Chains A and B, each alone.
Chain A
Amino acid sequence: MSIRAARAALKRAQSQLERVQTAWFDPPDPVEAVTFAFYAYENAVVAVAEAKNIRWTKRHDEKAALAARLFRDRILSIDVEDRLSELNAARKDVAYGEPGPELEQMDLEELATELEQFIDEVERMVDAAENE
């Protein structure tokens, strides 16, 4: 666990955010948008864990639980646990053929905006941890 690892995870999240930002409009690519958004959120959560020396595992359900914990412990102001679960279900649906109820109800522009805000917050948090 280190700031270096936090920076690497944050960089992955930012690079995946760029894919989401181009995937949501004209023509929208919901498969790419939800897949990259899911991994970007996960990498952002990992970045926080690394910066705060919190143990994490590769399991998707445990990363979602970690996101809830970071919010409960007031490390982050946004709780993305539900977002992670929703995106995980959506990406699996589209990968195996048809959009499920999660994706049909999802606003991709809003998804990209919220993800950007979340990653910005994580970046500020990592910066602050580095300066401590």
Chain B
Amino acid sequence: MRSKEWSMLPKMSSVKTAVTTGEYRRFNWRRSLALSLHALREAGLLKHSVVVLIGSYARGAQTSRSDVDLLVLLQEPKRPKLNAPYGIHLQFEDIERFRRRLEESDDYVIAALKFGKSLHDSGNLWEELRQQLKGAIWPDWRDKIKQAERRIKLADELLVTDDIDAATEEYLAVATQISRAILLRHGEYPLSRPELSKQLLAKGETTLAANIEKLIEGECDKEQLRQIGQDLHAALALEAVKTR
């Protein structure tokens, strides 16, 4: 594999991945990564592109439930349809949009540039973008609160429809956004999702940290989700006051 930073990846050949049926299978994530790059090459998507490992795997902080997140920056704004190997989550983004989001200090883009590991770069784009990162302003934590306020309504409504899995996913997204807001407000950069609870505990945010753990575990029933929803509403109200 042609990879500039391959050797910098966390040294772990495989992890046990729990599948939802309760079975376990050996998931060799390096092999899945190699297959993904091969599929991208076969689809002609490596000619003018950058492929970056982001998220918990890039930081060596993955858990048994983590997906391998690959960010693929392309010249074209249209996203190609490509089936990723098991356990790989491909995120396509066009370069111009990514650049614009960087100028707006979008924290997802900043996190990708700060912690991502470039696996393929057809030019020198990733390094150029990383240079631009030095001039980026600190992300506005208030944006996260606005997004969380919007999303918690969806989570509440999904719980009403008795869709426990969907509500769990949406409450986790809300909890993640509130956590990011809190950390950014404290001047600390939010890390990957499995690392957030540790960061929150260090800030004394015990309830939010515990709720993130429960939501990542994904085994909450409706009543537990209702309680978590109430906790999140309370945390959000508290943060919303601080935005004023």
Asked if B108 and A96 make an inter-chain contact with CB atoms under 8 angstroms apart, the answer reads yes
Asked if A19 and B84 make an inter-chain contact with CB atoms under 8 angstroms apart, the answer reads no
Q: Which of A16, A42, A58, A97 contacts B106 (CB 8 A)?
A: A97
Q: What is the CA–CA distance of A14 and B165 in the complex, to the nearest angstrom?
A: 16
Asked if B158 and A39 make an inter-chain contact with CB atoms under 8 angstroms apart, the answer reads yes
CB nearest neighbor in A for B143: A97
Chain B residues within 8 Å of A114, by CB: none
Chain A residues within 8 Å of B106, by CB: 97
Q: What is the CA–CA distance of A102 and B20 in the complex, to the nearest angstrom?
A: 29
Asked if A55 and B79 make an inter-chain contact with CB atoms under 8 angstroms apart, the answer reads no
Q: What is the CA–CA distance of A34 and B239 in the complex, to the nearest angstrom?
A: 27
Interface centre among B20, B108, B154 (most CB of A within 10 A): B154
A35-B147 in contact given A16-B161, A55-B21, A57-B19 (Cβ < 8 Å): no
Within 8 A of B (CB), among A55-72: 55, 57-59, 61, 65
Q: Which of B21, B79, B157 contacts A57 (CB 8 A)?
A: B21
Question: Is A101 an interface residue when CB atoms closer than 8 A count as contact?
Answer: yes
Overall SS of chain A's interface:
helix
Asked if B79 and A95 make an inter-chain contact with CB atoms under 8 angstroms apart, the answer reads no
Q: What is the CA–CA distance of A24 and B35 in the complex, to the nearest angstrom?
A: 39
Within 8 A of A (CB), among B43-77: 77
Question: Is B15 an interface residue when CB atoms closer than 8 A count as contact?
Answer: no
Question: Is B237 an interface residue when CB atoms closer than 8 A count as contact?
Answer: no
Within 8 A of A (CB), among B86-106: 86, 89, 92, 94, 97, 101, 106
How many A residues touch the partner, as a band?
A: 20 to 34
Mark contacts of B143-187 with chain A using CB atoms, 8 A cut-off: 1 yes-contact digit, 0 otherwise. 100010011001001100111011000100100000000000000
Q: Which of B81, B150, B158 contacts A31 (CB 8 A)?
A: B150
Question: Is B78 an interface residue when CB atoms closer than 8 A count as contact?
Answer: yes
Question: Is A12 an interface residue when CB atoms closer than 8 A count as contact?
Answer: yes
Question: Is A109 an interface residue when CB atoms closer than 8 A count as contact?
Answer: no
Question: Is A127 an interface residue when CB atoms closer than 8 A count as contact?
Answer: no
Chain B residues within 8 Å of A97, by CB: 101, 106, 143, 147
Within 8 A of B (CB), among A12-41: 12, 15-16, 19, 31-32, 35-36, 39
Chain A residues within 8 Å of B170, by CB: 35
Mark contacts of A82-120 with chain B using CB atoms, 8 A cut-off: 1 yes-contact digit, 0 otherwise. 100100010000011110111000000000000000000
Interface centre among A42, A82, A101 (most CB of B within 10 A): A101
Asked if A101 and B81 make an inter-chain contact with CB atoms under 8 angstroms apart, the answer reads no
Chain A nearest Cβ from B39, distance in angstroms: 14
CB nearest neighbor in B for A105: B78
Chain B residues within 8 Å of A12, by CB: 161-163
> Footprint of A on B, CB under 8 Å?
19-21, 77-79, 81, 83-84, 86, 89, 92, 94, 97, 101, 106, 108, 143, 147, 150-151, 154, 157-158, 161-163, 165-166, 170, 173, 218
Beyond A16-B161, A36-B154, 15 extra complex contacts between A and B, CB < 8 Å = A8-B162, A11-B162, A12-B162, A16-B158, A16-B163, A19-B157, A35-B170, A39-B158, A39-B161, A43-B163, A55-B21, A58-B165, A58-B218, A61-B84, A89-B92
A-B contact pairs, 14 of them (CB 8 A): A12-B161, A12-B162, A12-B163, A35-B170, A39-B163, A43-B163, A57-B19, A57-B20, A59-B20, A61-B89, A85-B81, A95-B173, A97-B106, A102-B79
